[in-house]
Chain A
Amino acid sequence: MSLNYDQAIEKYEPTLGLEVHVELNTKSKMFCGCATEFGAKPNTQTCPVCLGLPGALPVVNKKAIESTILIGLALNCSIAPYSRFARKNYFYPDMPKNFQTSQYDEPICTNGYLDVEIETDEGSKSFKIEIERVHMEEDTGKSLHVGGNTGRIHGADYSLLDYNRAGIPLVEIVTKIIPKTGKYAPQVARAYVAALRDILRGLQVSDVKMEQGSLRCDVNLSLSRVGSGKLGTRSETKNVNSLRSVERAVTGEIIRQSDRLEQGERIIQETRHFLEESGQTRPGRSKEQAEDYRYFPEPDLVPVVPDSKWIEELKKTLPEKPADRRKRLQSAWSVPDKEMAAMVNAELLDTVEQTVLLGADATKARSWWLGEISRIANDRNVFPTDLISVKDVAEIIALIAKGELTDKLARQVLEGVISGEGSPVDVITKRGLKVVSDDSQLMKAIEDAIAASPDTAERVRGGNIPAAGALIGAVMKATGGQADAAKVRELLLKHLGQ
């Protein structure tokens, strides 16, 4: 019988392990001076070193080492005083050298941790994710498979290789096993990758664009019977390319593995591929026969021996930790926990902060970005900042603060800016959206409203203030909503002796 997620989690305890590969944003490759630009024409960024031509000599990119040390420091790792590169030998055309230069038993950073927080029905929960190692390696080329897809060597089948990506610095960040996350395993996995991405972004060492593959996650997962204390056999799901997919891949594997176990089958140690459409995984190469990469120290590269002075200098450049920054902003803006979490989840914290830095009130900035703008962005399936610039939003908020726009008018201005009618001021001018603040013009509308409903006016004169609502409504209607309601109320009550 198949178990649903809740049943599966009641019976089985998931154990996670996450491997994240991040492409560094260096200008040149790891071991040669070729450019690293994304999307360049095929094989325009290669040289004898990254093509593995005989006699070529690799030299390590200093910035790549420094970026890796920074990542290690930000993840509370120890920085190894002595670290070496190794050759990982394998035969697959994505590496022209027939090996990938990586690090094996001497990684540059070890034993760190990252605290992640998740929101649950029982309040927020914190998990300490232990980091096993952070090491340097190089990315592989891109293959384009042409022909049939029988999965066998066929005369008609061939692959086309572009080595522009081969040799781009890659950092692999591997967690220790993450036990005891229980039903929160999918959320914890997602929160970890999100927290890691925020740190990498803050360090400015990578573009961290999951959709472009500059940040990729492999999810290891095993199940064990609750209380058995034994680790199960794990599967490794490759190249999960969005935060949502990380969460779905974990959920999907928990259900798939529990299903197998329920049927009395065993879990095969294998590589699986995440299927974006269904949220399920399909098997890849089986790892039943452990892969033997015949690692050995790379003889063409010398050891990396970072002295304490170098590390101290790098430490000084570490930015504020994302978690600390969040706490600081939350208290500066007096934002409740839930709203703060919403802002972080919507990835709008930076945007709101930039808007506030341009003078906008924090609450207003938050409500515009997360409210109206996010709503339109969702409808169009784009990111809010694709619709409108921070500067324009700050300007609209400033105009509201000055009383030149009401919220209602501001929404029209927003719509105008989004549909390309120019800056907020341009839209106001073109659409004639200024607040009616000219007192004499307002007074005329107020007098008209009183004349039209003398009984109501009489009640207000008699002290029935709530009755004024109907008159205010009439004035707003007469001015096409362009009057400031507070101002109308003030003038009206004064006029009626209140």
Chain B
Amino acid sequence: MSAISRDEVANLARLARIAMSDAELDHLAGEMDVILGAVARVQEVASKDVLATSHPLDVSNVVREDLVVASLSPTEALSGAPASEDQRFKVPQILGEE
């Protein structure tokens, strides 16, 4: 049985806003299935008391003091924006409500 179906891949693509052709979906569903199979093999040997890794280094509590540092100027902040108006980022309205 495959670890991920073509429909699930299509749904992930939709959630991630990635347009995919049917051929690409067919192709990727197979590849992702192989990747997930490999992950499943690793999980077989991981005991319950091993925490899921989210960071390659075993460090915790990396914090900074609550100090203000200089921000970018609005010109700098907006320099990468495709469009701006009134010192604000201008974007197409993607969700109508709210």
Q: Is the CB of B77 within 8 A of A43?
A: yes
CB <8 Å contact, A93 and B91: yes
Whether A114 sits at the interface, judged by CB under 8 Å, is no
Q: How far is the CA of A160 from the CA of B83 in the complex (A)?
A: 10
Q: A462 interface residue, CB < 8 Å from B?
A: no
The answer to whether B98 and A302 have CB atoms under 8 Å apart is: no
Does A158 lie within 8 Å of B77, measured CB to CB?
no
**Is the CB of A456 closer than 8 A to any CB of chain B?**
no
Does B57 sit within 8 A of A, measured CB to CB? Answer: yes
- CB-CB under 8 A from A304, the residues of chain B are 60-61
Closest to B95 in A: A92
A93 in contact with B89 given A43-B78, A299-B54 (CB within 8 Å) = yes
Which chain A residues (263-284) contact chain B, with CB distance < 8 Å? Answer: 273, 284
Most buried by A among B17, B52, B59, B95: B95
**A: number of interface residues (CB 8 Å):** 61
Residues of B within 8 A of A61 (CB): 63-64, 66
Of B21-29, B41-49, B67-75, the segment with at least 4 beta carbons within 8 Å of chain A is B67-75
Whether the Cβ atoms of A284 and B77 lie closer than 8 Å is: no
> With a CB–CB cut-off of 8 A, which chain B residues contact A298?
54
B68 contact set on A, CB distance < 8 A: 27-28, 33-35
Nearest chain A CB to B68 CB, angstrom units: 5
List which B9-52 residues lie within 8 A (CB) of chain A: 11-12, 15-17, 51-52
Which residues of A lie under 8 Å from residue B72 when comparing CB positions?
Answer: 46-48, 51
Q: In whole angstroms, how far apart are the Cα atoms of A62 and B62 in the complex?
A: 9
Q: Determine which residue in A92, A301, A303 has the highest number of CB atoms from chain B within 10 A of its CB, and name it.
A: A303
Does any Cβ of A come within 8 Å of B1's Cβ?
no
A151 touches B87 (CB 8 A): no
CB <8 Å contact, B15 and A294: yes
A44 touches B71 (CB 8 A): yes
* A161, B82: Cα distance in complex, Å: 13
Q: State whether A161 touches B88 (Cβ < 8 A).
A: yes
Produce 1/0 per residue, A143-177, CB < 8 A to B.
01101011111100111111100000000000000
Bound Cα distance from A183 to B52, whole angstroms: 46
B14 to chain A, nearest CB (A): 10
Tell whether, in the assembled complex, residue B63 and residue A62 are in contact, meaning their CB atoms are under 8 Å apart. yes
Residue among A59, A161, A303 making CB contact with B89, cutoff 8 Å:
A161
A91:B17 contact, CB within 8 angstroms: yes
Residues of A within 8 A of B65 (CB): 62-63
Listed residue (A149, A160, A161) with the most chain B CB atoms within 10 angstroms of its CB: A160
Query: B77 contacts A302, CB within 8 Å?
Result: no
Residues of B within 8 Å of A, CB-based: how many? 43
Chain B residues with Cβ below 8 Å from A152 are 96
Among residues of B, the one whose C-beta sits closest to the C-beta of A307 is: B61
Contact status of A64 and B66, CB under 8 A, knowing A45-B71, A303-B54: yes
B92 CB contact (under 8 Å) in A51, A153, A285: A153
B60 touches A305 (CB 8 A): yes
Judged by a CB distance under 8 angstroms, whether A402 is at the interface is no
**How far, in whole Å, are A477 and B25 apart by their CA atoms in the complex?**
97
Which chain A residues numbered 9 to 45 have a C-beta less than 8 Å away from chain B? 26-28, 32-35, 41-45
A387 at the interface (CB under 8 A from B): no
Looking at the assembled complex, report how far the CB atom of A148 sits from the nearest CB atom of chain B, in whole angstroms.
9
Asked whether A302 and B71 contact (CB < 8 A) given A59-B64, A65-B63, A144-B88, the answer is no
Contact: A147 with B93, CB < 8 Å?
Answer: yes
Chain B residue numbers with a CB within 8 Å of A27 are 66-68
Give Cα A301 to B64, complex, Å: 12
Q: Which of A44, A62, A154, A305 contacts B93 (CB 8 A)?
A: A154
- Does A335 interact with chain B (Cβ within 8 Å)? no
Report if A292 contacts B (CB, 8 A). yes
- When the two chains form their complex, are residues A160 and B97 in contact, meaning their CB atoms are under 8 A apart? no
Residue of B nearest to A282 (CB): B97
Known: A27-B67, A34-B68, A91-B94. A53 touches B80 (CB 8 A): yes
A190 proximal to B (CB < 8 A): no
Chain A residue nearest to B93 in the complex (CB) = A157
CB atoms of B93 and A159 under 8 A apart: yes
Residues of A close to B87: CB separation below 8 A: 41-43, 162
- What are 10 A-B contacts defined by CB distance under 8 Å? A42-B87, A47-B71, A65-B63, A82-B51, A92-B95, A144-B88, A149-B96, A161-B90, A302-B62, A305-B61
| Residue ranges of A at the interface with B (Cβ–Cβ < 8 Å) | 26-28, 32-35, 41-48, 51, 53, 59-65, 82, 84, 89, 91-93, 96, 144-145, 147, 149-154, 157-163, 273, 284-285, 292, 294, 297-299, 301-306
- Name B's A-contacting residues (CB within 8 A): 11-12, 15-17, 51-52, 54-55, 57, 59-74, 77-78, 80, 85-98
With A65-B63, A162-B87, A273-B98 known, 6 other A-B pairs at CB within 8 A are A28-B68, A33-B67, A46-B71, A61-B66, A162-B89, A302-B57
